[in-house]
Copies of this chain bind each other. A is one copy, B any other.
Amino acid sequence: MASGGRKRKLIVQKYGGTSVGDISRMQNVARRALAAQRAGNDVVLVVSAMSGETNRLLKLINDITPGASEREQDVVLATGEQVSVGLVAIAIQAAGGKATSVLGHQCRILTDSTHSKARIQQIDGTRLIDAMKQGHIAVVAGFQGVDEHGNITTLGRGGSDTTAVAAALEADACEIYTDVDGVYTTDPNVAPAARKLDRISYEEMLELASLGAKVLQIRSVEFAMKYRVPLWVKSSFTDDPGTLVCEEDASMEDLVVSGIALDRNEARISIRNVPDQPGIAAQIFGALDEKAIVVDLIVQNPPIDGKSDLTFTVGKTDLAKATEVVKKLSKTIGSGEISTDQDIAKVSIVGVGMRNHSGVAARMFRTLSDERINIMAISTSEIRVSCVISSKYAELAVRSLHTEFGLDATAKKPARKAK
């Protein structure tokens, strides 16, 4: 955000697939970008593939083989964004503006060589700055980069493209346009009383994104937070100001809980009677890591008679693989029965206000208990408390907590922390 001696402000706008889903929507994007430019800003757009296009390309690939090389998949998939940036640039020109499309390898968005989920190492903003100096709107292909050997890479669905570009350009603001009009206290499909937030801190947004809130991706928020770029989440279909993701300020702490997240994509594995010996946990989680299985929540009870129960959660898609690993190991280490459960949900409350307030977790447990919802596992961070519960109670839990922490749209006064 070091705008320094620059006179014009620099805004980076990101448009997702639905926002460029057809020609008329692209023309809408062009109008919005030109309005921002006419308001006195330099404008960079980061654009996704037209909605449906990535899936169309994936189908072509999978029709040949389900095991296509990731390098070649990236070559095919990167065309989705390439078509979008060309068309959006043309739409801006047709609306009387000046625009230049810029591909990942032109930008140059340098990444490592991890095809399909490459990480950005460096961005050379020269080409973008040159374009803007000539009065052009630079239209950057999202989702793609190039490795040091000139191979096309894709960044995976992390969305780091936009905020990384914004960071590289020291942008004054980064606006993410999607099909929702901001960040909500929780998923409105789950809790109809959900409320749009005007502001939320980077830290809270990061926790919500980690917990499955889809509006912003983790890496996107990480970049914005690291380089302190103010991040707006807006709808491309309305003129609503949206939600500002920014640095924490004192007023945010007034609110104990800012949002409630629900994650249904995990499954639970429990191992009974694990011998309480040094290195056993390392052995189990090391073996899972070797198979690239990401373990989320881990709970181990204190040992009784030198044995303890171990529970952890993994992504549902990894459950079969993880169970196999654990079954093999249990013979070696001499542990007991293994049980798994896919019908679980993880409900989390997030808020910077709970940093200095110890009663929040207890209040969450009490609320769930009042609804007779059993808690299978608990995990906490400085600004988050997560509970694993039976999936059939997921909506009930979210709604109860939403009301308890004063987030309901109808609530006159949000719950403030005890002073």
Task: Report yes or no: B72 in contact with A93, Cβ–Cβ below 8 A.
Answer: yes
Pick the interface stretch among A80-88, A203-211, A247-255, A266-274.
A80-88
Give the residue name and chain of the B residue nearest to A98 (CB).
B69
Q: Quick check: is A79 within 8 A (CB to CB) of the other chain?
A: yes
Q: Which of A43-98 contact B (CB under 8 A)?
A: 57, 60-61, 63-65, 67-69, 71-73, 75-76, 78-79, 82-83, 85-87, 89-91, 93-94
Complex CA distance for A364 and B67, rounded to whole angstroms: 61
Q: Which residues of B contact A91 (CB under 8 A)?
A: 64-65
Q: Which residues of B contact A26 (CB under 8 A)?
A: 64
Q: Which residues of B contact A64 (CB under 8 A)?
A: 23, 26-27, 87, 90-91, 94
A75-B94 CB under 8 A given contacts A83-B60, A87-B61: no
Q: Quick check: is A103 within 8 A (CB to CB) of the other chain?
A: yes
Task: Report yes or no: B101 in contact with A83, Cβ–Cβ below 8 A.
Answer: no
Classify the interface of chain A: helix, strand, loop or mixed.
helix
Q: Quick check: is A403 within 8 A (CB to CB) of the other chain?
A: no
Task: Report yes or no: B72 in contact with A86, Cβ–Cβ below 8 A.
Answer: yes
Complex CA distance for A203 and B67, rounded to whole angstroms: 47
Give the residue name and chain of the B residue nearest to A74 (CB).
B86
Task: Report yes or no: B75 in contact with A101, Cβ–Cβ below 8 A.
Answer: yes
Q: Quick check: is A383 within 8 A (CB to CB) of the other chain?
A: no
Give the residue name and chain of the B residue nearest to A89 (CB).
B72
Q: Quick check: is A117 within 8 A (CB to CB) of the other chain?
A: no
Task: Report yes or no: B83 in contact with A69, Cβ–Cβ below 8 A.
Answer: no
Q: Which residues of B contact A65 (CB under 8 A)?
A: 90-91, 93-94
Complex CA distance for A83 and B78, rounded to whole angstroms: 9
Complex CA distance for A64 and B94, rounded to whole angstroms: 7
Q: Which of A250-294 contact B (CB under 8 A)?
A: none
> Quick one: which of A67, A99, A103 has the most chain B CB within 10 A?
A103
Q: Quick check: is A10 within 8 A (CB to CB) of the other chain?
A: no
Q: Which residues of B contact A72 (CB under 8 A)?
A: 86-87, 89-90, 93, 99, 101
A63-B101 CB under 8 A given contacts A79-B79, A93-B72, A94-B68: no
A101 to chain B, nearest CB (A): 5
Q: Quick check: is A152 within 8 A (CB to CB) of the other chain?
A: yes
Q: Which of A148-177 contact B (CB under 8 A)?
A: 150-152
Given contacts A60-B87, A69-B93, 6 further A-B contacts (CB under 8 A): A67-B94, A69-B90, A75-B85, A76-B83, A79-B82, A106-B150
List 6 A-B pairs, Cβ < 8 Å: A60-B87, A61-B86, A61-B90, A68-B94, A75-B89, A79-B82
